[in-house]
Every structure is written in C-alpha cells, then in structure tokens.
Amino acid sequence: MMAACHLMLLLNALPITAKTERTWYTADKLARLQTNLERHGWARALRDAAVRRAAKWSELSDDELAALVIGPEVPRAYDIHNLGCPVHGAAANQGGLYRWGIDHQHPFQIRCPAGGEVYPSNDFGRYLASGMKDRALLTGEFADDGRGWRDPRTGEKYWFVAYYAHWSMMRFLQPAIAELALGAVVAPDPDQAARFAHQCALLLWRLASYYPDYLYEKQSREGERNPSYGGRITNYIWEVGWVGPCALAYDAVWPYLRADTALQQRSGLDGEALDAFLRERLLRTMAVDITSGQGRCRGNYGMHQAALVQLAAAMAETERAPTSADMIQWVLANPHPVVDSDMGVLDALENLVYRDGVPQESPGYNLGWVVNLSQVAEPLVEVGRDLYQHPRFQRLLTWPFDLTVAGRFTPALGDSGDMFAGPVALSPTVCAAAVRHFPDPRLAAVVRATPGAARDLFAPAIEDTLADIPAASTAGPRSRLFPGYGLAVLESGVAGSLTAGVLHYGSWGHHMHRDQLNLLLFAHDNALLCDVGYPEQTDAYNPRRYGIWSNTIAHNTVTVDERPQERGPTRLLAWQPTGFAQVAEASAEGAYPGRVSLYRRAVMQIELSPERTCLVDVFHVRGGKRHDWSIMGTQSELTCVPELGPVQSRGTLAGADVPFEQFYDDPALRDKPLGTVSYGGYRGSGFQYFTGLRRATLAGAAVATFKLTEPLKGQPARPWQGLGLRAHLLGWEQEIIACEGVVQGYRQLPPKVPYLLRERRGEDLVSSFVTVFEPYRETPWIRRAAALTAGDDAVAVEIELVDGDKLIVVHSLSPGRALRVGEACRTDGQAAGLWLAPDGTVRRAMLLNGTELSAGAFRLAGRGAVGAKVAAVDYQRRRLTLAAPCPRPWPAPGAALLIDPGGRSEAVTVAAMIDERTIALADADLRCGGGPVISIETAGNRLVTNLASPHARSGMTVINARGEPQGRLADGQRWTIARGELGPLTPDCFPADDGARRFAIAVVGPGDEVQLPDLASYQK
C-alpha cells in the first residue's frame, strides 16, 4: 500500500481513459447471455456454476484475498529441483511433475507427494515480514530464504518457497481473478455481482501495484541458471496466461470501479485514478510487453496474439500507443517481427504453416496453433476480420482430422503424445467456434458428439448452426501425403479395421526428435511400432530428454556411428497410394551429412484382406562404421526365432562396463551428477539407456514376435488378447539384439518397453535392412518370408502365406535397370508387387515406374517414369502446363508429381488431366512463403521484406500478387532473385493491386523439372 501512494502522484499525469462501457462483454454479448438464460437450462446451470465458483473466493476476507498476490521480492520456480525431493528424490516426480501439495491457508509451505513431509523448515512468512532481513528466522534443517535451500552434501539447491510462490499465483490468484470476474458479469443478484466486482478489482489493483516490478530473470530459479530468460511473474511463455484473465476481468469490473468506495479508500485512489492505475500499470505494461517484442510476454505461436486481441477489446484504447487498433494490426500483420512467433497472423499462415495446413512443430504443439489461432479468430470476426474464410486457416483447422490415422491415432512424433499415440484432437469448444463461420462436417461431428462441452453463455446456441450441416462421412481407408510437413500415411482395410503405415520424412524443427525416416505402424486398434513421444519434461536439465527420448536410437530408424541424426533436408522419392500394394519412399542423407552417401527408406504396404496387411520395409544405409537399426515395440513380450542368447548381466547397450544412464560418450557430462547440467549439447548414442540385452545372429531370416500384454490400470481401453506383431528380419551379417528401453515414468505407462535392434559393423559399411511387418490377430498368417536374389541395387522378398498364396515384392534403387528376381520373375520397376495363387496364377500385380513385370507367362507392361518440363503454372486455378505432351498412360488422380527430384522434397498431386499438356492439381495451395515487398534493390536484383520464410528454398519460383513469375530465389543474401531472361528487377514487378505490394514463393514454377510417375496394375 505504501507503494501505491507514491504511484498515485505519477498517475495524476495520465490521460483519462477513452473507455465508456464494457467492450469485451459488449451489449450484444450480454443480450445473448439473457436469451440463453431464458431459453436454455444448460445456460442457467452454467451461470449457477459460475456464481458458485465466484462465491467460493468471495468467502475470503479482503485481506486474505489480497495475500494471494505475492510481491516480486519472493522468487518463483515451477520446479523445486529436476530430481525431485531432497529426501525421496525422483519418487516425488512419479505420476507427473508439479504435484507438490500447496494450500493458500498455509502460505509458503509445500508438501512432498512421495512422503508427505512439509518444506521449508522455517516460517518464510515471518522472514518476509522482516523485510527478508532477519536471518535468525531461517530455522531448521531445510531453511529457505526464498532463493532455495542448499543441500550441504551436494551443493544442489531446492526451491521450496519459490515453488509455492509460482504455483499459488497460478493456481489460486489466476482463477480467483477469472472466476470473480465472470461472477460479476453473470450473477443475477446485483449486490452479489458488486461484491464479486469489488473483490476482483482488489486483486487487479494489488497485482497492478507490483506488475512492472516483476522481472523473472532476476527473481526466479530459471533466471539463476539462464539469466536471459525473461518473463514477469512466470517465464515469458506462461506469462501470456495472465493477460487474458486480467483483460477480461478489467472489462468485467469496469462499471463498478467508480462506485467502489471501499477499494478507493484502501488504494488511496479515486475511481478515475483507480481505472487509470489498472490500465497503466497492468494492462498497458502487458500490451507493451507483447508488442515491443522484448520477450517478457511471448508464448508459443498464437498465444500472445490471442491475448493481445482480448487486451485490445477490453482496453478500447484510442489515445496512447499502442492503441487497440495498433494491437489488432500487430496481430494481423506485425510490421517488425523480432522473432518468428511475433509474425502477423496473415504472414504466419503463409510462412510458418506448411501449405498442407500443418504448422512446423510436433503434432501436439501444432494443435496449440489451432487452439490459439481460434482464440485470435473468434473475437476478430466481431471487428470485421474473418480469418475463417482464409483457405489456409481452414486447412489449419482441419489437419487434426487428416493426421488421425487408422481411425483413432495421431503419430506421436517429436514432443507429442505417448507410445499409445492417442489422438491429437480438436476440442468441442474450438470446433463450435469455428463451425459457426466454417461449416465443415467434421467440425460439426465433434460438437455433436459432446454437445455439453461446447456451450458458450455469450454465443448463440450451437444447435441452430448444426442443424444445417450434413453428417461427416464414415472414414474408410484413405492414404494421404503431407508434402510440406513431410509425412506419408498409407492406409488399408475397411472402416473399423484399418492398418496404417506412417513414414515420417519431415524436417520441421520445433519440438522435434532426431527421428527422420521414422516408421510407425498402427493395426488392430493398437500402436504397434511406437514412439515415446513427449518427454517427461522439455527441460534441458532432464538427462533423458536428450539422452534417449529425442535421440535417434529411441526411434524406428537407423543410428549411424553411435551418433544422433542432424536435421537435414529430405526428399520424397515415391508415393503410390492406391491398390493392394501401396508405396512410400523417401531419403534423408542430410541426417548424417558427410557420413553417409545413402540413407533411404522404402515402405510397401500390401493388403490381402481387410484383416491382413503387411509392410515390406527396406532401409538402405551406405557409409559409416556402425549401423544400428531400431524399432520400439508396444507394451508386449518379445520373443525370437532363432532363440535369443542369455541376458547380458552387466552394463548396457553401450557396453558391459557402461552402467545405466551414464553419459559415457560425453566427457563434459560423464561424471556430473544427473540433473545438474544441461544436456542440450549431447551428441552421443543414448545406448546407455538400453538394458536386458539378448542377442542372436541373423543368418538369412529370423522372426521376432511382439505379443501384446494386458493394459495396465489407467491405460485407455484397447484390444490386446491374441494380438501381436511379427517382424520377419531378412539378411546376413547382422546381430539381432532384443532389449528394454525406458519410457516416461508415468503410472499408466509400462516401466520398460521392448526394443528390437539390428547391428552391423565394418569399414565404409553398406547395409540393407529388410523387414516384413506382420500384424496379426489370433494366429500369424505368413508362413515364411525370404529374400530373393535381385542384384546389388535391389531388394526382393518372397512371402508365403499359410493359405498357400505367395507374394513377391521388389524394390530397386535403379529403376530402369532390368532385374532377374529369383527363378522366374523379371522387372525394371522402382517397386513391384505380385500376388500369386497356390497354382501360380497371378491374382494381382503392381508395377511402379517400370516397363516390365513378368513371372512365367504373366506380363505387366508400363511406360516407366518420365521427366517433363513445366512450361507455365496458373497459380489461381492451380494448373500446370507441360512443355511437351504427356506420354500415355497419363498419371491418375492422386498420383504425385515429384518436383525437381534432384533437389527438393516437394511434390504436387494430380487432380485430373485436362488435356495432354494441362494438369489440374489437387493441392489447395502452391505457396510456401511470402510477404510484403518493402523495397526493391534493382542493382542486386534484391527484394527486401520484413520477415522470414523458413520453408522457402533456393531455386523456388518467386511470384507477384497476380501470380506472375518473377524469377527464382538465388543463393546468397535473401532475397536475391535470379531473373534469367526477365531483365532487372524493378518495383513494377510487384504491382500493388490491393494497396500492398506482396510476393510469394511457389513450390513449382515454369522451367521446373517434374517426374511423371507411372503405375501399371493388374487384377484378375
């Protein structure tokens, strides 16, 4: 309160607010509230619940409430220590982090979730009352002066008081503000509403009196480790969470401020000054924190944009910068983004969201984009900016449906999900907001499924909107390609019994793991080839995050030379999504630059019946001295034929003398106590995390079987009895290793999961890891799988089924070269599949990019892949014109044209052939970047813009707002444009048709080479 008095002097100089009414809870919103209350029982129930929540806080006295605001002199920490409790260690982290007990009736005390004991040993409240000066009050064994108790044995600090300060502000103060505010808006009793408003305003005033003085980097545990980590009460990401509740609360209590004499007395401010105090100290500080880009309040993409829209609406600021109009402009088209996450929404949709609608992070974090941008879009509609009509925003809203594979899973790539790959799904709230403006049947289906979850007191009732939207179609198998995100999903079976093989070849860089060419498999309602997913913490001090979970060896790919992958560029090399034998193929030599000359995976998914689909998987690696092929199984028992040897009794995969979790291959980390240093720089193998090793030698063929075991308590229901996955391992000179790896220490997860490895060593090693994955129910259906001879650059597999049928599957690195496969088969295709009846007649056949597939008297002819040059692109209608007629047969709808296969990973998909030279594309959008043209430097053919386009690559075509090509992006200083025959670059190249000059980068343009694929198929 002393602080407030001298602040009042400062505030006399402030202008009077322009706000004259509630501007978030507008008259329209309040009228909709009244209508809903009159008509709907659910609305009255929601209102009553909101009043009850507010009334609970309202039972506290003003002094008790005010004490929920902890001043900046008390440090904050979201974690006591990485390794848990000083007494119980990591046992305190079992079942999740941040589970220490706190209670605002017992300030500054926390209770260990493992042992129930209380820390610190001193009464910190008394020490605080002494001005944090009387150190005689720091009594007992675990005394904490706010900056943590130091363990005399290890020197490690444990932050008890700071943990309380952080979590009590988050768990008590933040909801108290939000719930009292909503109570003030909806309470039917005017006296009760006024009391809620008074108490809420009291909290806002207390918080405002401190707010500019919260400086996270100087007042936190994180700040001691990383002094440039900004924020205020909390770190800069979580800080965003304060903005919306405070902005809406300010709007909620605003009509009461001038009559609140109790608060005016307590604060020493009259109504006007109190209003100005809240605006200046709290809201304007927040607005400047965001718009200045200084990193005090910056969330994941869309979080601070959504918060700023709420701030703009609540403040209705017309005088002082940033005005509310400035804030909206910043959200849509920030002219000076300091970092990518500050980019305006319209530019971010073009540059940070891939053209397939998926943002550039792990699926879980990408869902955050949808949630956050929905919160930006919804209020913007009210000010006349309708993002829901933007095509890429529509794709952003719907990718979670497309990324749901086998009916119910989302690949747990990067920091996302867990080994069971539960769906990354849109909430009914997001869908309800969106479907009012964008009537997609899949959005409507989510709302219909849980109508109660999408209720909004201030919006029109959703039933009226849903009545006009048709039902979503039941999903059958649908293979799909995400050409920007770098994900190929092969699906087969029928609705209710789908198999999906997922090949990840993306190079997105946020919350990623070192997992390029990861292969996941889903069948029989289970994730069978798994990914650990989200680590226990995304904290660099957690040894397992970088030691194992983001490391290459934890993924279904190949580790070269006991090192993790880099994140290199990748190429898509085949995409064939139709028929009984589908194909996806990609390479990622950039994952091991300078170490490998070939790093490529081809996956052929063969469907024999809805219940019987197998994957023939070929992984080629050339270069290096050691190759470790790995797969992570699901919760299961792993056995092998031939039988595995005895369990290695000592050590780990890193060696019999390397103990579990020792960072043996990093001298800087090796001898440090776990959890005391950052592991962000670790570039070792992670092999120290694998134990229980049993070995066998692969001599031709082996069969490893993962038999599913019963779900543990807390796991989602899923079938398991009689289900399994067999991996037929083909090859020579490989050591098979079955072992156990660790997953997150959560109660519902198994403590260990089986891993299957194949190891090869040698000089300048050449490996082809060939596997047939056979998901089965009750009994296996493959009798045996064997490699056939096919030549150096090719792999051929013969698969005998228990019913007498036979499959021959071929993959070649050199399409066009004639191969003799086994006894009687010939082909020159990139991929080929033959399905033979017991009498040798051909049931089905598939030939990709070849001229011949023959077996005995059977012959299937194709034209082979051909290259073609693009003469022109119509970017508006999304059509390609080829320089020469397309040879027949023409590519079928769904076929992928690989663009400049020698360089980029991009592909476009055929919708239809219009005529022999014109191809209509199925791609919704051909742009992968773009922005405003700030100026043109004619001398260097340079275009100057204000933002980054991380997905644009040299050689791509630059177009203007009319879709007219202006040259290609050249190497060197961005954005230098190679103009070819077009003459010097001038401002006229980018006309300002809609008032702003803009450019875009297109993934295909005139002069590009494309591959016209060829598919020949036969069905008896």
Applying CB under 5 A, the residues found at the interface with Zn ion are 85, 87-88, 112, 114-115, 513, 515, 531
- Helices 41-58 and 174-186: angle between axes, nearest 10 degrees: 130
Residue 81 in tokens: 């220590």
Minimum distance, C-beta of residue 664 to Zn ion, in the bound complex (Å): 22
By beta-carbon proximity to Zn ion, the closer residue of 110 and 208 is: 110
By beta-carbon proximity to Zn ion, the closer residue of 112 and 1010 is: 112
Tokens 């005033």 -> residue: 205
Measured CA to CA, the distance from residue 659 to residue 689 in angstroms comes to 9
By beta-carbon proximity to Zn ion, the closer residue of 142 and 458 is: 142
First to last CA, the chain: 87
Residue 131 in tokens: 């001005």
Query: In terms of Cα–Cα distance, which of 246, 227, 416, 404 is closest to 315?
Result: 246
Measured CA to CA, the distance from residue 58 to residue 51 in angstroms comes to 10
Minimum distance, C-beta of residue 510 to Zn ion, in the bound complex (Å): 14
Q: What is the 3-state secondary structure (H, E, C) of 78-103?
A: CCCCCCCECCCEHHHHCCCCCCCECC
By beta-carbon proximity to Zn ion, the closer residue of 88 and 817 is: 88
By beta-carbon proximity to Zn ion, the closer residue of 94 and 427 is: 94
Measured CA to CA, the distance from residue 614 to residue 403 in angstroms comes to 21
Query: What is the arrangement of strands in the sheet containing 852-855, beginning at the earlier edge strand?
Result: 819-821, 825-827, 852-855, 858-861
Virtual torsion, Cα 160, 166, 167, 169, nearest 10 deg:
130
Q: Say if CB 727 and CB 771 are below 8 A apart.
A: yes
By beta-carbon proximity to Zn ion, the closer residue of 235 and 565 is: 565
Minimum distance, C-beta of residue 537 to Zn ion, in the bound complex (Å): 15
Q: Which residues partner with 774 through β-bridges?
A: 726
Minimum distance, C-beta of residue 21 to Zn ion, in the bound complex (Å): 51
Minimum distance, C-beta of residue 695 to Zn ion, in the bound complex (Å): 25
By beta-carbon proximity to Zn ion, the closer residue of 390 and 545 is: 545
By beta-carbon proximity to Zn ion, the closer residue of 142 and 229 is: 142
User: At a CB cut-off of 8 Å and minimum separation 6, what does 540 contact?
Assistant: 546, 678, 679, 680
By beta-carbon proximity to Zn ion, the closer residue of 118 and 371 is: 118
By beta-carbon proximity to Zn ion, the closer residue of 108 and 546 is: 546
Other CB atoms within 10 A of residue 27 CB: 10
Minimum distance, C-beta of residue 88 to Zn ion, in the bound complex (Å): 4
Minimum distance, C-beta of residue 543 to Zn ion, in the bound complex (Å): 16
Residue 24 in tokens: 């978030």
Minimum distance, C-beta of residue 365 to Zn ion, in the bound complex (Å): 13
For the residues of 389-405, what is the DSSP string, one character each? GSHHHHHHHHHHHHT-B
Minimum distance, C-beta of residue 119 to Zn ion, in the bound complex (Å): 8
By beta-carbon proximity to Zn ion, the closer residue of 81 and 296 is: 81
Three-state DSSP class for residue 667: helix
Which residues of 221-369 form beta strands (DSSP E)?
none
By beta-carbon proximity to Zn ion, the closer residue of 87 and 824 is: 87
By beta-carbon proximity to Zn ion, the closer residue of 554 and 644 is: 554
By beta-carbon proximity to Zn ion, the closer residue of 341 and 565 is: 565
Q: Say if CB 630 and CB 564 are below 8 A apart.
A: no
Minimum distance, C-beta of residue 154 to Zn ion, in the bound complex (Å): 16
Minimum distance, C-beta of residue 745 to Zn ion, in the bound complex (Å): 16
Measured CA to CA, the distance from residue 357 to residue 345 in angstroms comes to 14
Residue 352 in tokens: 């940070």
> How far is C-alpha 804 from the geometric centre of its chain's CA atoms?
45
Virtual torsion, Cα 143, 172, 169, 102, nearest 10 deg:
20
Sign of CA dihedral 961, 964, 970, 973: negative
Minimum distance, C-beta of residue 64 to Zn ion, in the bound complex (Å): 29
Minimum distance, C-beta of residue 90 to Zn ion, in the bound complex (Å): 11
User: Phi, psi (5° rounding) for residue 382?
Assistant: -65, -25
Minimum distance, C-beta of residue 162 to Zn ion, in the bound complex (Å): 17
By beta-carbon proximity to Zn ion, the closer residue of 364 and 623 is: 364
Measured CA to CA, the distance from residue 651 to residue 875 in angstroms comes to 59
Virtual torsion, Cα 317, 323, 324, 328, nearest 10 deg:
180
User: Is it true that the peptide bond before 441 is cis, omega within 30 degrees of 0?
Assistant: no
Helix (H), strand (E) at residue 441: helix 441-449
By beta-carbon proximity to Zn ion, the closer residue of 143 and 185 is: 143
Residue 58 in tokens: 């309202």
- Report the residue number whose CB is nearest to Zn ion: 112
Q: Say if CB 161 and CB 108 are below 8 A apart.
A: yes
By beta-carbon proximity to Zn ion, the closer residue of 200 and 487 is: 487
Minimum distance, C-beta of residue 412 to Zn ion, in the bound complex (Å): 7
Residue type, 173: L
Query: In terms of Cα–Cα distance, which of 172, 173, 148 is closest to 81?
Result: 148
Minimum distance, C-beta of residue 605 to Zn ion, in the bound complex (Å): 22
Minimum distance, C-beta of residue 112 to Zn ion, in the bound complex (Å): 3
User: Phi, psi (5° rounding) for residue 178?
Assistant: -65, -40
Q: How many degrees, rounded to 5, is the angle at CA 554 between CA 550 and CA 559?
A: 100
Measured CA to CA, the distance from residue 482 to residue 396 in angstroms comes to 13
HSE, CB side, 13 Å, CA atoms: give it for residue 178. Answer: 12
User: Phi, psi (5° rounding) for residue 1013?
Assistant: -75, 165
Tokens 């079955």 -> residue: 738
DSSP, res 55: H
By beta-carbon proximity to Zn ion, the closer residue of 519 and 702 is: 519
